[in-house]
Every structure is written in C-alpha cells, then in structure tokens.
Structure 1
Amino acid sequence: MKPTTKKSTAKLNAAIAPAIRNFKPPEDLTVAEWADRHRRLSPENSAESGPWRTSRTPYLREPMEAFTDPKIRKIVMVAASQVGKSELELNIIGYIIDQDPGSILFVQPSLDDARKFSRLRIAPMIRDSKVLRAKVSDVKSKDSGNTILQKSFPGGMLTITGSNSASALASTPARYILGDERDRWAVSAGAEGDPWALAEARQATFYNAKAVEVSTPTIKGASNIESSYYLGTQERWCHQCPECGEYGEITFDRVHFEHTVAKVRGKKAYKIVGPITWCCPSCGCIVPEEKMRKQPAKWIAENPAAYDEGVRSFWLNAFSSPWTPWEKIALKFLQAKDDPQKLKVVYNTLLGELWEDRGDIADEDTMLARREDYGTNADGSPVEVPEGVLVLTCGVDTQDNRLEYEVVGHGFYGETWGIKKGYIMGKPDTDEVWQQLDDVIDHVYRFNDGKGLRISITCVDSGGHYTQEVYTRCRERKNKRVFAIKGKGGDGIPFVTPPSKVPIKDNKRITCWLYTLGVDAGKETIMSSLKVQEAGPKYCHFPIHESCGYDTYYFNGLLSERLELTQTKRGNQWHWVKIPGHNRNEALDCRNYANAGLKIIDPDMFAVERRLKNVQETPQTKPAQRRKPKPAARNYFDEW
C-alpha cells in the first residue's frame, strides 16, 4: 500500500467533496440574517438596489424568522402592495436554495404570472446573489436542466406554476409550498378542485414541511387569505404612542388630515393642508406622521394560542411602508372616494383592508352604532314600544330547524321601529314551536305609560320543506290574522297582491289563504329606508337593549344583499344577490314580511292614533234646518 501524500489526499477530497456537500447542515442563520448577509436587491426591481437591509423594513423580520422556527409549519401574510411581501418570499426561496435545500412549489395565480415572476424577480435575484448564482445554473447554459418554470439546485428543485395548472399541483412532491397573491388564484385547478388543497397534499410525506401564503386582501367574505389569517396568530404591526406608551395599529380611520378641493377643467383637484396625524386609540393624543415613523413598533397577536398549532399570521397596511408617505395614501383615497371600483383598489392595495361593496348602504358597525335606547320602565325593564309606534306586525321566516321572527312597529309615513328579533328552535311540524310563536303573537307590547299594542298581522313564509305544515298552522290561526305568504322574485312584481285560496294536502275542501309577495320590491323599500339618516318619514329605528336581539348577526343578515345588473338571455336585468361573507338573509326576509303585513291590512293611521290617545271622534252633523211652518188650513170665512 502506497503511503498517503498531500497530493493524493487533495485528490480524494476533491472527488468526494461534491457528494458530501449536500450533507452539510445549514448555518445557524434565520432568513433575515441570511438576507442581510447574502441578498442583493436588483436595480431593475428596486429603487434602493444593493445589499438587503432588514432594518429598512423591520416589520418583515419576524415573518422571516418564523420560517426558521421549528414550531411553525405555516406563515400567512396579508399585506398592502409595495410593502415588501414579494421580497419576503424571495428571501425565503434564497434561504432554502442556499441553506436548507428541498423541493419548492411556488404557485402564482396563473402560468403567465409564473413566467413573468420567474423572469423579472427570481432570475435577477439569482444573478445578483453570489451564493445563489453558484448553485443555480442559468437557463441559457448548456445542459443546465433549468427552464423558466423549473430551477434545479443541489438538494432540490424550484417549480414555479400557476393555480390553474392541475398537473403541476397534483404531481409534484414538495417540502416547501409558497403561494403568492392567494386571493387571485383560480377557484379550481381545472376540474381537480381547490388549488391550495392540491398543493398541500404534495407535502404529505415531509415531516418538516413548511407553507407560506401571501396576498393582498380583496373582498370581505370571499377572501381566501382572510380565512387563513384567522386560523393563525392574527398579528398586527403596532406602534408605540409617544404620550401614553401604549401600542396601537395605524389604520386609516385613526389618521386625520384636512384638505381643500378645487375644480380644474371640470375635475376635482385635492390638496392636503397641514400635517397628517394619527390619533392614539388609548389616550386620544394626536401625533404627527414624522414622529410616529420614529416610534418603536412590534407585532401584537390577537390569537397567540395559534402559535402552538404552528400557524403565524400577519396583517400589514401601507402606513408602515418606508416608501409610501401618508399624504399619498390620503390623496389616493380622496381621488377614489366617489368611484367604488377605484376605492376598492385603494382599500386593498394601500389601506390593506378588505372591500365590502354595499353601494351607499351602511355596514354592520354603522348600524350597531345607530341603535337607540327606547327608555326604561319604572321597574327598570326596557320599554318595549316607543312613542310614535301605531301598529305592530310580525314577519316569520321558516327554516328546517327553527322559526325566525321579527316584530316591527310602524308609524306615520313609513317610519319603523324594530321591537323584537328572535328565534324559536325546533322543527316547524311540532306543536311546541307554534305554541311559542303564539306567545309572541298574543303578547301585549307596552308603551312607557302602560298602554299596550298587540300584533295586528303575522306573515309566515311557506317556502321550504314545511309548506303544508305552515298552511295548516296558519289556517288554525286565521282569527289572529296569521297568514301564509310566498315570496316571488323578479322585477315589476307588485309587493302585495290579493290572496288566493290554496288546498291543504290536496284536499280542496280544506284551504288556506296565501299571499304572494314581490320580495324584490320589498327589499328595495327596505334598502331605501336604511339610507335615511334622520328620524322621521321612512327612518328605521333599532333598539340597543340586548334582549331585543338586534346584534351583529341581525345586521349582517339585514344588509346581506345588494342590487346588481346581470346579463341574461333577455338582456341586462337587475337582481338581488348576496354580498360575499353574508350567508344568512333571514333578518332581511323577516323585515320584508313584516312590512308586507302592514301593506296587507292598510290601516288608517290617523284613526289608530286617535284611539291610542282616547280621542273621541265627534261625528260631524249637519246643522238643524229650520222647518218651514205648515200653511194653515184655508178658512174661507177668514178670507172675507
């Protein structure tokens, strides 16, 4: 055996080095530390090209460090545009390639987006970072094994695809999954189903799998990133108030500014006047932007328990971006506030908030704040019926497991008062359920002075699976003015039409009165009334007492639909459609049925008011006419 020499040892090391290099453990670096050491920003993608500095965007430090936290398996980032969320993903990809290699599935909304992102963002990052350039071959090099959508590196491969590509999502095992602009993904990858579910299935064999989900928020209730965010720690980037020391998030509703408006060639031109300030939610102090930007900031979790489940979620708006002055955000808002489509873009991309398109209808929070105290009785109980109410009606919506009802008070000229919103749990074919409804109908609802009103009419929805049962129960209660109704949608259908007799269980001898309602006309009236801002004609009052049932759930249902113009075979037609995020509309239906009840009985409100006030109506009588005296009997002797 020949003695070992330095030359032979060097040859042996050179031979085995490439084979064992992949077994080298990752350095003790977080993603943020790796980026500070190795990442360079490309000049074509950044106004501040050169070495990456996490201190420039301190809010990205924790999301990046969470990736190397062994307890965390998923990171969710909801962020406005141009705050660095794409750089977060790029830094994570660079770290994986250099430090902890494995197969990566990077999903963009579409294949075109994937190709564009690969050319414009990933390729420049690899080119300008020395450690990445040494491990990933150029696409143009011979036998590189790399394409625009696939990048090979020692220990793994980066596959870039679109959410609409079922083959790539379903066939590629991946330890790492990164999803960009999640809210813009296809609803289904071909016919395979949810793209994110398909992607996550590729991680089944990896005990150390990681997932990153990133997106700008879109529409409330229809946002996938919103759903993912609420499954995590729900962290917000909060700044410390220089006055009280408490931490608070900088949101648009806490930012105050003054502006002027002028017309230039018929267009409005806005100008911010004076400093833009932030109002601390804890102490109410006003702090200028320059001072707030220098204040300490940190992530504060609203659901820290999700950390133990391995999911950290972050929500960030543009007020914390070092590249976006607050004045720019304010001006963008002013320029878009009169155009819902432009305003939607501002909400999503700058304010970092979900958009809820209601037209000019208020949201749940506004309606909750509008609730009133109807007063208190001598015994401390809330007043049931406030002054102004003349007639009570009840609308009942029938569900498979309950009845939902609302008692509504009506006054002059369409002014209404919510009296009671409630639920009666149980199947509508049981006596107990209808007995409880009788309790609602038979109850005397009292004014503050002790006088009371009973419900004048009750309209019960007969749609669904219990039509015949509703017919039977309403027939039994016709003396209480409990009537079955059937809603009919469509433009031009009258709100209320004369009732018809319908047979019960095909027995023509036993019938029930059925009213058909034009529900679209009724909804239009309700939404029009909700826009009225001052008490009086058409104004809608709602009680604030908890026992009355007018909570967030109620207003979510009342405001659950909007009118949209849709394309049909007959041309463009208006239809009422549910707003995303509002799955239940029973509150809207109950109010519609209660309003229909008033239309059906059509009371003389002036006569009702006189009866309530015990004003005796004096019948007008004609003034007594003086009778003409009867002519005396002719006496011929008198004539002489």
Structure 2
Amino acid sequence: MKPTTKKSTAKLNAAIAPAIRNFKPPEDLTVAEWADRHRRLSPENSAESGPWRTSRTPYLREPMEAFTDPRIRKIVMVAASQVGKSELELNIIGYIIDQDPGSILFVQPSLDDARKFSRLRIAPMIRDSKVLRAKVSDVKSKDSGNTILQKSFPGGMLTITGSNSASALASTPARYILGDERDRWAVSAGAEGDPWALAEARQATFYNAKAVEVSTPTIKGASNIESSYYLGTQERWCHQCPECGEYGEITFDRIHFEHTVAKVRGKKAYKIVGPITWCCPSCGCIVPEEKMRKQPAKWIAENPAAYDEGVRSFWLNAFSSPWTPWEKIALKFLQAKDDPQKLKVVYNTLLGELWEDRGDIADEDTMLARREDYGTNADGSPVEVPEGVLVLTCGVDTQDNRLEYEVVGHGFYGETWGIKKGYIMGKPDTDEVWQQLDDVIDHVYRFKDGKGLRISITCVDSGGHYTQEVYTRCRERKNKRVFAIKGKGGDGIPFVTPPSKVPIKDNKRITCWLYTLGVDAGKETIMSSLKVQEAGPKYCHFPIHESCGYDTYYFNGLLSERLELTQTKRGNQWHWVKIPGHNRNEALDCRNYANAGLKIIDPDMFAVERRLKNVQETPQTKPTQRRKPKPAARNYFDEW
C-alpha cells in the first residue's frame, strides 16, 4: 500500500468537499440578519446601492423576522409605495434559496408583470449577492435550469408566474407562496377560480408551509389585501411621542401644515410655508417632522390574538419612509385634491389608505344652488357668454322624437361654462328639425361688451334609429364643422380617436366623417370636474337664468350615472350605471359630446385669447412650399 502524500490528500479533500458542504447545517439567521450579512442592493434598482442595512428601514425588521418564526404560517403586508415592500419579498426569496431551500411560487398580477419583475429585480439580486450567485446558475448557461420564469437551486425551485395563469397555479406544488400586488390580481385564473385559493392548495402536503401576501391598498370593499389584513394581528407602525411617551401612528389626518397658493398661467401652484408637524393623539402636542423621525417606533397590534392563529399582518404608510419627506406628501395631496383620480393615487400610494369615494357626486339641489348670474345687458337680457370663455362647442343627442343639445363654453385648463341647454322637438329625419339646429349653430353668442363667438364644432350622436339620417345631415354641414360621433363604452378606450369615413346608405362613394368617442373616459372627466369647488381649472359654471335651460331636469340628467364595481373574469372593473330615480341621461351625453368637440379641434387657447383681445401677433415668415392640390373636403379637414 502506497503511503498517503500531501498531494493525494489534497485531491481527496477537493473531491469530497462539495458533498460534505451539502451536509453543513445552515446558519442560524433570521431573514433580517441574512439580508444584513449577504444581500446587496443593485445599482439599477436602488438609489442607495451596496450592502443592505435593515437599520435604514427598521419597520421591515419584524415582518422579515416573522418569516422565520415557526409559529407563523402567513404574513400580510399592506404598504404604500416606495417603503421597501418589494425588498421584503426579495430578502425572503434570497433567504429561502440560501438558508432554508424549498419550492417557491411567486405570483405577480400577470405574466407580463412576472417577466418584468424577474428581469429587473430578481436577476440583479442574484447577480449581486455572492451566496445566491453560487447557487443559482446563469440564465445564459446551457441547460442551467434558470429561465426568466423558473430558477432552480439546490433543494428547490423558484417559479414566477401571473395570477392569470391557471396552469402554473394549479400544477406547481410549493412550500412557499409569495403574492405581490394582491389587489391587482385577476378575479379568476382562467376558469379555475380564485388565484390565491389555487396557490394555497399547492401547499397542502407541506407541514412547514409559509405564505406572504403583499400589496398597495386600493378600493375599500373591493380590496383583497384588506380582507387578509383583518384576519391577522393588524399591526400599525407607531412612533413614541416625545412629550407624553405614548405611541401613535403617523397618519395624514394628524399632520398639520400651512401653505400658500398662487396661479401661474391659470394653474394653481402650491408652496408649503413653515414646518410640517404631527399632532399626538394622546396629549395633543405638536412635534416637527425632524424630531419625529428620531423617535423610537414599534409595531403595535390591534388584534394580537391572531398570533395564535399563525397570521401576522402589518399596515404601513409613506410617512415612515426614509425616502419620502412629509413636504412631498403634502404637496402631492394639494396638487391632487381637486381631481378624484389623482387623489386616489395619493391615498393608495402615499397615505397608504383605501380609497372610498368613486363616482359619487353632489345632488341636484347642490348643483342648482351653485348656479350663477353671468350678468345683464343694457336691455335687461341675460349675458350669453361670460368672461373667461374662449371657445364654444355643441353636443347633440339624437332621440326618436327630438334632438337635445347643449352649447358649452371652454376656457383655460378645463374650466367650462354652460351656455344653453335646449330641445328641438320632431323626428330627426325632417328638415324642420335640422333647420332649427342650424339656428343654434349659426347664432352669434355675445359677451357683455358686444363681442361675439360662434360655435366652433358640433358633435351629433349617430346612435339609435336615425344613423343614416345623421350621416347625411352632418355631411351637408361639414363646412360648419358638424360631425357625426359614435359612443363606445369600456375601460381604457381613448376619449377621442381619429375619424374614419363611413358610407352613407351603403354607397361607398358618398361618405361621412365619423368620430368614435370613449364615453366612459369622458364621463369620468365630467364627474371629476363637477367635484371641483373653486372657480378656476376644471371648474364647471352654470347660468341661473331660466331661459338658459339649467333646471332641475337638466341636473337630474347630468347626475344620472355613477361608477359601480363589478367582478369579471378580467378582475374588478368599474362600469357606469344609471342611478335609480334618474331615468334620462341626455344632459350627461350632450356635455360629453360638447367636451369631445373641444378635444377634436384642440385649439391654441392663448392664440384665441389674443385674437379676442385684438392683440397684434408677430407674423412669422415661413418658407413657401409647393403643395399638390387636394379635394376641398380634405383641405378643410387638414386645416384643423
């Protein structure tokens, strides 16, 4: 037998070392400790790239440590944007791969979201963390088991999928489930049912299964993450008051600040004046932001009994984020307060609160009381056009026995004035009805100083039983910019799209321009504007004089619809529905069509204002270009 040499011993050790390493017990670390030791933030995803420091976001320590608590089976995190909730998930994934391997099912709202998150967040984390790079092979290597949606590692596999992928949710056994942006998930994974229930069913055979559910809050009553939160410990991140020593959550209703507002080219510009402070709910003392950020903070549970059920839930807003100063939150709120859609984003992503108000507006009595006197002419007649109006448009709704119309004045930044609401009785296939509409369109509407405006564009509804008649009449009036429109409902449809030529009475040689309107988008704009309470951008003015037609019947029609949430296979979706007691919606449609007219012509309001004020414009010399002659109708269309 040959004697053992140092060289042969080294070869033997090198051969068996990899096998022995597999028997090495993992380090006794929590997720937070693992992240502090091994995680590195990638430069493309973080403004503070480099080693992870839990001390930078102390509110994430307990949610991460809860994952390694053997008594906890589920963690729920409801959080505003940019507080680190995605980093919480990434740290947990990294910990599993390195310390406690098992199969992971990571679910995003859609497959597209899954691919994007994998490329932009998971791949850089693996690349920049040494311990993960050693266990997950490069996606470019042949037969590596590492693809965009699947990443294998010793002892497990990470599967990344979308809530709309029934096959992945129903066929992948998983010890760990992580659900990101839960409130954006599909209601049903194909025809299989609730995606979260499908995912949880994959854990049935694992005694040590764990689940993590994370999301920004959305709409009260329709939020899945809200329901999950209330099944857990319901913990809030609370700071200690420096005066009384009690702990309280920093919420927007306890924030105090002063601000000024100025108008710059018709738009409001806000500025915070002085320090932003927090009012303690226990003693009422006022504490500035700088001092509160240095105060001790901790999670306080409102339902601690849920700990025995194995569910810890956390709710966090942006006031505790080290990257979001309170001034930014206050300014975002001020800038969005007059626009419900923008305000909803602020509530969800910064204030970390559920949005409750969606489509509800004032009643008829409130709107009637809001009407105003545009002034009186020397002869005692009411002023037709008040100051501020620059362009007039007209919207016409077609019914079997009448035309309903509204003339609307438009000013800077979405401010509108109701000018005239009226009816033309008679069937739309008679000359008399259209001659009366011509009277409305051709009329010169006067300011108090005698200057006048004509209607710049008229949009006529072509739906109903008189489509061909509307096409014919609009073609005859194209030189007056009278155009047929067709409303199309549905989420995501643009308010106005480029027109198409449609044949009249199946004659392809005789055509009419037809605009398709995304009426849902238009209605949402109207309802948002009706909520604005101060004259200025987006405010809606209405005249009080009876001859103008803005009576109870008009406002009953204008406020005839609201948004309601319905569940579909594509998820929770909002639809406009009639409000009981509001049988007619022609006033809403007319206003929608008139607003679309302004969108179609898209005038230069500053140039219009200069012309109205007779301000001399500096002529601009343009190079002469030879153009091919075009048909008259096409020339007219191209000019605007």
Q: Compute the TM-score of the two structures, normalised by the length of structure 2.
A: 0.59
- Assess if the C-alpha contact under 8 Å between 2:336 and 2:343 holds in 1: yes
Pair 24,520 (structure 1): closer, same or farther in 2 beyond 3 Å: closer
Pair 263,388 (structure 1): closer, same or farther in 2 beyond 3 Å: closer
Pair 634,405 (structure 1): closer, same or farther in 2 beyond 3 Å: closer
- Match of residue 156 from structure 2: 156
Q: Deviations over 1:19-39 (max 9, x none)?
A: 453443321100000000010
Residue 596 of structure 1: SS of its match in structure 2? helix
**Which is worse superposed, 138-147 or 628-637?**
628-637
Distance in structure 2 (CA, Å) of the matches to 1:389 and 1:610: 13
State the Cα distance separating 1:144 from its structure 2 match.
1.3
Identity among equivalent positions (%) equals: 99
**Which is worse superposed, 156-165 or 369-378?**
369-378
**Which is worse superposed, 533-542 or 151-160?**
533-542
- Assess if the C-alpha contact under 8 Å between 1:414 and 1:537 holds in 2: yes
Q: Deviations over 1:386-435 (max 9, x none)?
A: 99999999999999999999999999999999999999999999999999
Distance in structure 1 (CA, Å) of the matches to 2:208 and 2:639: 137
**Which is worse superposed, 571-580 or 238-247?**
571-580
Pair 218,543 (structure 1): closer, same or farther in 2 beyond 3 Å: farther
Residue 567 of structure 1: SS of its match in structure 2? strand
Q: Deviations over 1:164-191 (max 9, x none)?
A: 1111111111111111101111111111
Q: Deviations over 1:542-561 (max 9, x none)?
A: 99999999999999999999
**Which is worse superposed, 510-519 or 629-638?**
629-638
**Which is worse superposed, 590-599 or 612-621?**
612-621
**Which is worse superposed, 210-219 or 561-570?**
561-570
- Assess if the C-alpha contact under 8 Å between 1:277 and 1:286 holds in 2: yes
Aligned residues between the structures: 640
- Assess if the C-alpha contact under 8 Å between 2:78 and 2:229 holds in 1: yes
State the Cα distance separating 1:78 from its structure 2 match.
0.3
Distance in structure 2 (CA, Å) of the matches to 1:638 and 1:313: 59
Q: Deviations over 1:457-496 (max 9, x none)?
A: 9999999999999999999999999999999999999999
**Which is worse superposed, 629-638 or 28-37?**
629-638
Distance in structure 2 (CA, Å) of the matches to 1:216 and 1:231: 17
- Assess if the C-alpha contact under 8 Å between 2:367 and 2:555 holds in 1: yes
Distance in structure 2 (CA, Å) of the matches to 1:280 and 1:357: 27
- Assess if the C-alpha contact under 8 Å between 1:219 and 1:580 holds in 2: no
Pair 27,360 (structure 1): closer, same or farther in 2 beyond 3 Å: same
Pair 402,307 (structure 1): closer, same or farther in 2 beyond 3 Å: farther
Pair 3,184 (structure 1): closer, same or farther in 2 beyond 3 Å: same
Pair 307,403 (structure 1): closer, same or farther in 2 beyond 3 Å: farther
**Which is worse superposed, 531-540 or 555-564?**
531-540
Distance in structure 2 (CA, Å) of the matches to 1:8 and 1:637: 89
Distance in structure 2 (CA, Å) of the matches to 1:241 and 1:553: 55
- Assess if the C-alpha contact under 8 Å between 1:445 and 1:454 holds in 2: yes
Pair 156,442 (structure 1): closer, same or farther in 2 beyond 3 Å: same
Pair 12,250 (structure 1): closer, same or farther in 2 beyond 3 Å: same
Distance in structure 1 (CA, Å) of the matches to 2:328 and 2:618: 70
- Assess if the C-alpha contact under 8 Å between 2:340 and 2:528 holds in 1: no
Distance in structure 2 (CA, Å) of the matches to 1:267 and 1:627: 40
- Assess if the C-alpha contact under 8 Å between 2:376 and 2:382 holds in 1: yes
Distance in structure 1 (CA, Å) of the matches to 2:380 and 2:304: 41
Pair 632,221 (structure 1): closer, same or farther in 2 beyond 3 Å: closer
State the Cα distance separating 1:276 from its structure 2 match.
0.5
State the Cα distance separating 1:266 from its structure 2 match.
1.0
Pair 16,299 (structure 1): closer, same or farther in 2 beyond 3 Å: same
- Assess if the C-alpha contact under 8 Å between 2:150 and 2:159 holds in 1: yes
**Which is worse superposed, 487-496 or 235-244?**
487-496
- Assess if the C-alpha contact under 8 Å between 2:216 and 2:352 holds in 1: yes
State the Cα distance separating 1:627 from its structure 2 match.
99
- Map of 1:437-452 to 2, 5 A cutoff? none
Q: Gaps spanning 5+ residues in structure 1: where?
A: none
Residue 637 of structure 1: SS of its match in structure 2? helix
**Which is worse superposed, 450-459 or 80-89?**
450-459
State the Cα distance separating 1:452 from its structure 2 match.
61
Residue 417 of structure 2: SS of its match in structure 1? strand
Pair 142,3 (structure 1): closer, same or farther in 2 beyond 3 Å: same
- Map of 1:417-428 to 2, 5 A cutoff? none
State the Cα distance separating 1:274 from its structure 2 match.
0.8
- Assess if the C-alpha contact under 8 Å between 1:22 and 1:155 holds in 2: no
- Assess if the C-alpha contact under 8 Å between 1:220 and 1:581 holds in 2: no
State the Cα distance separating 1:356 from its structure 2 match.
1.1
Distance in structure 1 (CA, Å) of the matches to 2:617 and 2:139: 96
- Assess if the C-alpha contact under 8 Å between 1:357 and 1:579 holds in 2: no
Pair 370,242 (structure 1): closer, same or farther in 2 beyond 3 Å: farther
Distance in structure 1 (CA, Å) of the matches to 2:630 and 2:378: 67
Q: Deviations over 1:67-103 (max 9, x none)?
A: 0000000000000000000000000011011111111
Distance in structure 1 (CA, Å) of the matches to 2:55 and 2:632: 123
**Which is worse superposed, 355-364 or 133-142?**
355-364
Pair 573,149 (structure 1): closer, same or farther in 2 beyond 3 Å: closer
**Which is worse superposed, 34-43 or 536-545?**
536-545
- Assess if the C-alpha contact under 8 Å between 1:221 and 1:582 holds in 2: no
Q: Deviations over 1:335-388 (max 9, x none)?
A: 111111111110000000001124466999999999999999999999999999
- Match of residue 90 from structure 1: 90
Distance in structure 1 (CA, Å) of the matches to 2:307 and 2:562: 38
Pair 153,553 (structure 1): closer, same or farther in 2 beyond 3 Å: farther
Distance in structure 1 (CA, Å) of the matches to 2:138 and 2:401: 63
Pair 40,191 (structure 1): closer, same or farther in 2 beyond 3 Å: same
Pair 293,455 (structure 1): closer, same or farther in 2 beyond 3 Å: same
Pair 631,211 (structure 1): closer, same or farther in 2 beyond 3 Å: closer
Pair 141,508 (structure 1): closer, same or farther in 2 beyond 3 Å: closer
- Match of residue 27 from structure 2: 27
Residue 638 of structure 1: SS of its match in structure 2? helix
Pair 247,495 (structure 1): closer, same or farther in 2 beyond 3 Å: closer
**Which is worse superposed, 397-406 or 247-256?**
397-406
Pair 589,333 (structure 1): closer, same or farther in 2 beyond 3 Å: closer
State the Cα distance separating 1:63 from its structure 2 match.
0.3
Pair 27,111 (structure 1): closer, same or farther in 2 beyond 3 Å: same
- Assess if the C-alpha contact under 8 Å between 1:189 and 1:195 holds in 2: yes
Pair 144,525 (structure 1): closer, same or farther in 2 beyond 3 Å: closer
Distance in structure 2 (CA, Å) of the matches to 1:371 and 1:138: 68
**Which is worse superposed, 38-47 or 399-408?**
399-408
**Which is worse superposed, 586-595 or 3-12?**
586-595
Q: Gaps spanning 5+ residues in structure 2: where?
A: none
Root-mean-square deviation (CA), in Å? Answer: 18.8
Distance in structure 1 (CA, Å) of the matches to 2:49 and 2:200: 35
Residue 528 of structure 2: SS of its match in structure 1? helix
Pair 354,437 (structure 1): closer, same or farther in 2 beyond 3 Å: farther
State the Cα distance separating 1:143 from its structure 2 match.
2.7
Distance in structure 1 (CA, Å) of the matches to 2:201 and 2:447: 62
- Assess if the C-alpha contact under 8 Å between 1:177 and 1:212 holds in 2: yes
Distance in structure 2 (CA, Å) of the matches to 1:172 and 1:637: 58
- Assess if the C-alpha contact under 8 Å between 1:276 and 1:288 holds in 2: yes
Distance in structure 2 (CA, Å) of the matches to 1:39 and 1:76: 22
- Assess if the C-alpha contact under 8 Å between 2:266 and 2:413 holds in 1: no
Distance in structure 1 (CA, Å) of the matches to 2:43 and 2:220: 36
- Assess if the C-alpha contact under 8 Å between 1:216 and 1:352 holds in 2: yes
- Match of residue 206 from structure 1: 206
**Which is worse superposed, 313-322 or 19-28?**
19-28
Residue 290 of structure 1: SS of its match in structure 2? helix
Distance in structure 2 (CA, Å) of the matches to 1:376 and 1:476: 36
- Assess if the C-alpha contact under 8 Å between 2:235 and 2:313 holds in 1: yes
Pair 249,509 (structure 1): closer, same or farther in 2 beyond 3 Å: same
Q: Compute the TM-score of the two structures, normalised by the length of structure 1.
A: 0.59
Distance in structure 1 (CA, Å) of the matches to 2:376 and 2:284: 32
State the Cα distance separating 1:287 from its structure 2 match.
0.6
